Chain A
Amino acid sequence: MNPALEIAARIRARQVTAVEVARQALARAEALNPKVNAFTALLPERAMAEAAAVDARIARGEALGPLAGVPYAMKNLFDLAGLTTLAGSKVLRGTPPAARDGFLVRLLAEAGAVCLGALNMDEFAYGFTTENSHYGPTRNPHDLTRIAGGSSGGSVAAVAAGLVPLSLGTDTNGSIRVPASLNGLFGVKPTYSRLSRHGSFPFVYSLDHVGAVCPQRGRPGRLLRRLAGAGCRGPATSAARTGAGLGRAARRLGRAARGPAGRLVRQAAPDAARHAVAAVAAALGGAGEVTWAMADACRASAFTITSSEGAALHLPTLRTRLEEYEPLIVDRLLAGAMLPAAWVNHAQRVRALAAAQMREVMADWDVLIAPATPVPATPIGQEMLELDGETLPLRASMGLFTQPVSGIGLPVVTVPVQRAAGVLPIGVQLIGKPWTEALLFRTAAALEAAGVCAAPVAPAFAAGAV
């Protein structure tokens, strides 16, 4: 059973109290977090109060939410009442604490979940490595000398190290899928606008998605139904479609094909990524191979839009507090501020063309299979990546395969293939049509049942995992 649901079941059966679970989880996080640097803030008072409330409901014989007593944590760009929302930055340290929880945090609380704290990330979500200069790098639990990936690095490392069985993150260009790949977990990036962004610090309005990181037997459909279920907030939330495709449909597996290829997958993916894709494709009977000719153009569009929108968001602050920004992103933000508006408009039009072309590509297929990252986790501090004989900047290139897909808002579940390169895992993207998350979850479950994919806690952290 999924660790989160197992905890909830044990609490419901009165085999353990929610307070005891929270106490153990906090103790484990305090003891092990220094190794991985996943948390930027632990919230023991909040956690114990929420856990005590669950136990009180049990004592009164009241109904419990499905996540009653389950510890979780949030990327530190989500508002948590009483805590300053940092979004990985130094600039926001002086802002007042959040007056209330963000919308999804409130839904998790209504479900009975217990918030342990806030998690590390790349500053303002602009990165794929979580090598945060202000709060230190988050380390990969499979190899502490390597990156956890980003920007939701803390969200993923906390689950991979068994500190929490559930976390939420965000994904603009791959920020859930990249770290999920590098840490060997299931990562869910729903259809664009599926989940509310209310109460989260933005990065790129056109591309920001909220999603989740799940461990073994994640049953993410149940979680997503809960989070998308009611009263969504925000202009970029599709209220009419929040529940569609998350139900008990999708009893069959989809027709799967390798792709979307283009130059990106055909030439650039090294052995570990290619072998992982081949293993997943073989298990799913992936009969075909498709080409999305506009994959490169769509990635370029997403890159351009990200540069410009990210810069526009921060330019007023950059003008007065430049030196407080993360050195790894400040040049990219400034460069984005100098892009011609005509380029950004052109990129938005190309993105629409790319989406239309992908609809044609997917007409005959339900699931497309592609690498999540070009390589497994790289050493912390590595600057460049060799791909297909080309030397590329690593921090921009980890999203090579994720960026085109989020660029047109398609739902993706990243499934983990363990020991793809030594002890290191790597992820494979299952890409669906809009609003078909349930089919992707079922496909991921089939891969897990077949033994092709698994998402255990990293071996060095397995003992006593939450």
Chain B
Amino acid sequence: MVGLKLDTTCQAKLAAALALVVRAAAPALAVPVGPADEPAPVFRP
């Protein structure tokens, strides 16, 4: 797992953390983007 060996307890905590991130990311992933929508890796106001 990303180059790490984790025991089952750590794996369970990681799974919970990942579930939280997935839930938090959902509103962004739900936004449709088209080919013209470029990323903003470094934001320039």
Write the residues of chain A forming the contact surface with B, with a CB cutoff of 8 angstroms: 191-193, 205-207, 235-236, 238, 294, 296-301, 303-304, 307, 315, 318-319, 322, 331-332, 334-339, 343, 345-353, 355, 393, 396, 408-410, 434-435
Contact = CB atoms under 8 A, between A and B. Distances in A.
A128 to B, nearest CB: 14
Interface residue tally on B, bucketed by range: 20 to 34
Closest 5 CB pairs of A and B: A434-B45, A348-B39, A300-B28, A331-B17, A335-B17
Given A193-B44, A297-B31, A322 B21 contact: no
Given A191-B45, A410-B45, A355 B2 contact: no
Contact of A304 (B24, B33, B38, B43): B24
Contact of B42 (A205, A319, A355): A205
Interface in B5-36: 6, 10, 13-14, 16-18, 20-21, 24-31, 33
Max chain B C-beta neighbours (<10 A), residue from A238, A336, A347: A347
Chain A interface SS verdict (over half): helix
A71 to B, nearest CB: 33
A331 B43 contact: no
A348 B40 contact: yes
B38 A335 contact: no
A315 B16 contact: no
A303 B2 contact: no
Given A315-B3, A334-B1, A408-B45, 5 more contacts: A303-B28, A315-B2, A332-B20, A335-B20, A396-B20
Max chain B C-beta neighbours (<10 A), residue from A193, A335, A343, A434: A335
Contacts of B18: 335, 338
Max chain A C-beta neighbours (<10 A), residue from B10, B16, B25: B25
A332 B17 CA distance: 6
Nearest to A304: B25
B41 A206 contact: yes
Contact of B45 (A235, A339, A409): A409
Nearest to A316: B3
Interface of B: 1-4, 6, 10, 13-14, 16-18, 20-21, 24-31, 33, 37-45
Contacts of B2: 315, 319, 334, 337-338
11 contacts: A206-B41, A206-B43, A207-B43, A297-B31, A307-B25, A331-B14, A343-B29, A348-B41, A351-B39, A353-B37, A435-B45
Max chain A C-beta neighbours (<10 A), residue from B16, B24, B38: B24
Contacts, number: 117
A3 to B, nearest CB: 32
A303 B21 contact: yes
B40 A351 contact: yes
B39 A352 contact: yes
A434 to B, nearest CB: 3
Contacts of A332: 17, 20-21
A351 B24 contact: no
A337 B17 CA distance: 11
A396 B38 contact: no
Contacts of A192: 43, 45
B4 to A, nearest CB: 6
Contacts of B38: 349, 352
Contacts of B13: 331
A339 B40 contact: no
A294 B37 CA distance: 15
B17 A304 contact: no
A239 B30 CA distance: 36
A236 B18 CA distance: 29
Nearest to A353: B37
Contacts of A353: 31, 33, 37
B24 A300 contact: yes
A303 B25 contact: yes
A111 B41 CA distance: 34
Contacts of B39: 345, 348-349, 351-352
Contacts of B44: 193, 238
Contact of B25 (A193, A300, A319, A322): A300
Nearest to B28: A300
A319 B24 contact: no
Contacts of A351: 39-40, 43
Contact of B33 (A307, A331, A346): A346
Contact of B30 (A191, A193, A297, A331): A297
B3 to A, nearest CB: 5
B41 A301 contact: no
